[in-house]
Amino acid sequence: MESHDDVSRIQKRYTLTLINPSSRYLSLAFSVVVVAVLTAVATIVYRQGDDTAWRIMLVMPVLLATQYIDSLFIRNKEISKSLHMALFGNSIWLLTAAAGLGAAYILGKPEISYFYIAEGMFLLASFRIGIFTTTLGASLRKAWLVCFLQPVAIFLAITPADMWVPALTDPAALLVGAAFLVITTAWSRWTDRAGMPNVKSTHRLIQAYLFSVSRNDPSEVESIIEEQSSPSRVSTTQIRLNTGGDGRDFRIVLPDIHPGPYHPVGGSNIPYLIYKNLDSSAMVMHSISDHSLNLPSQTEVKNYLSSLSHGAVVGEGARCAEPVTVQVNKARAAGLLFGKTAVLCLSLSPHGMEDIPLHIRNEIEQFSKSRGFDGVLAVDCHNAMGEGLSDADSADLLAASKSALDALRNREAHDLEFGYANSDDMGLDAPDLALGGIGILCLRINGKKFFLGWADANNMENGVREEIVKRFSDSGRELIEICTSDTHYSTGVRNRNGYYQLGIVSKAAEIAGWYLDVAKRAEAGIKPASFEVLEHVVSAKVMGPGIFRDYSRAVDRSMVITKIVMAGCAGLFLLSLL
């Protein structure tokens, strides 16, 4: 549970990356407007001047030039980050000027002091130190070198020359400005060291994350993660269905590897890569696992994929039992049986839940052994959005699983036939569906057809599964379950979750139609088959729970420091208004 809580806390911070506009052009346009308004306020209200138009025409080239120069000091010289920084920084300056006006009005001051324009300049310089050091990859020394460039240039452009010296040598402005600069410098040092000793530099971690997302280059963040990852024995179980002579082959794959941590890093796209590795004839299920089993790098992904062909056959046959489904309150367990190996698909849909905790898997596996099963593939269907599993739901899920296993054990075995089809030739282009698309397995057992659905997606919108089940039922078909791969290929989306779950963009009725079309092709290709149960174990580096604990603590401590410093800065700012 600690690992899951750590991941959840980190994910909650993702929304902080959504503050800036989605386009650099928006930031450019807004920053132009903000600086124009600031210039007008400084000219008309603070100076009672009549040269507003001239000052605006003068300051705009200064703004654009300093934005470009700023980009030269930013890692990879990304102009977009310079534009975002200019927007937020100059907005702080404008708010400072507005606060000065408000204070003068409320306190009944006889005149409006130009002190607040100078104070805003120092606040912008302080803000730039923080941004340059935390997210833009500059050292503290370089940040100090460049922090005054834009603020001073804009100040000189909007202020008459005869006011430069008096405004910039005002003791109150210098004192308050120096205080903000010192506080920001200290804040930068403290937050960078917030994760020590295990996280050597919080800022480097943040910068590596932003670089991987903005440049689609995971190399730096993978090197950081891999340093702290440790080798582990990782197992993968496959149910291989084969029609014999014509060589048709299909696999249900349950890797212990958990997709993640996020695209494009490590095993974020591992379900699709396994799917392609198996000739696009597979369903890569989401095992009961957590993010501690993320592969940290592309190197580890390649090593893992190359090992899939070395599995050992631990069971085989040509007969299996009819599926069973057991519902206990909100919990549901759908079971398949291949020889003495069971497959359990676990879900709370339409109520939803987060990843099923490992203790449930352990108890299911122990129970299956006591009932004489050779093994059980416990699948987390991941087909509805929800919170962490409650104790009551956990108990119900275990009860449903045990009942399903008992029911399977007493079922008569029959000859196995199967057909499989996927959406590869349908041209689906949905942002809530990853590269593997959707697939349907059709099993004919004892003369009856049963369908199992799969999607390469990160969870499902609540109610989508039920719409698909209804569409199948209306057409006279029995859908055992719909499972998703929990891919993290589609992370980085600008919403609260950071991804699109299947059904949040595509319509439920449309998705149900896709599945029904694929199901018709799957049942048209039904042929007699045999099965093999394959298992293989490989040594691979995984992230482990310690990384998420360390990263979560680093981020949490940084946020605590930031809140304290912001409270202090707010107090200082309010004092300056008096």
Write the pLDDT tens digit of every residue in 399-419. 999 999 999 999 999 999 999
Contact (CB, 8 A) for 221 and 211: yes
pLDDT digits (tens, 9 = 90+) for 142-178: 999 999 999 999 999 999 999 999 999 999 999 999 9
Q: Work out the average pLDDT over 371-375.
A: 96
pLDDT band at 456 (very low <50, low <70, confident <90, very high): very high
Residue boundaries of the structural domains of the chain: 2-213+550-577, 230-542
Of 48 and 398, the structure prediction assigns the larger pLDDT to 398
Residue 14 has pLDDT above 70, yes or no: no
CA dihedral 399, 367, 537, 288 (to 10 degrees): 10
Residue 34's Cβ-count burial label (10 Å; 0-12, 13-18, 19+) is buried
pLDDT in tens, 498-534: 889 999 999 999 999 999 999 999 999 999 999 999 9
Q: What is the pTM of this model?
A: 0.90
pLDDT of residue 1: 46
Model pLDDT for residues 272-307, shown as the tens digit of each residue: 999 999 999 999 999 999 889 999 999 999 999 998
Q: Between these two residues, 12 and 57, which has the higher pLDDT value?
A: 57
The closest of 76, 94, 121 to 30, measured between CA atoms, is: 94
**pLDDT value, residue 492:** 63
Q: 293, 230 in Cβ contact below 8 A?
A: no
The answer to whether 575 and 267 are in contact (CB under 8 A) is: no
By the 10 Å C-beta count (0-12 exposed, 13-18 middle, 19+ buried), 570 is classed as exposed
Q: Which two tokens stand for residue 361?
A: 């898997």
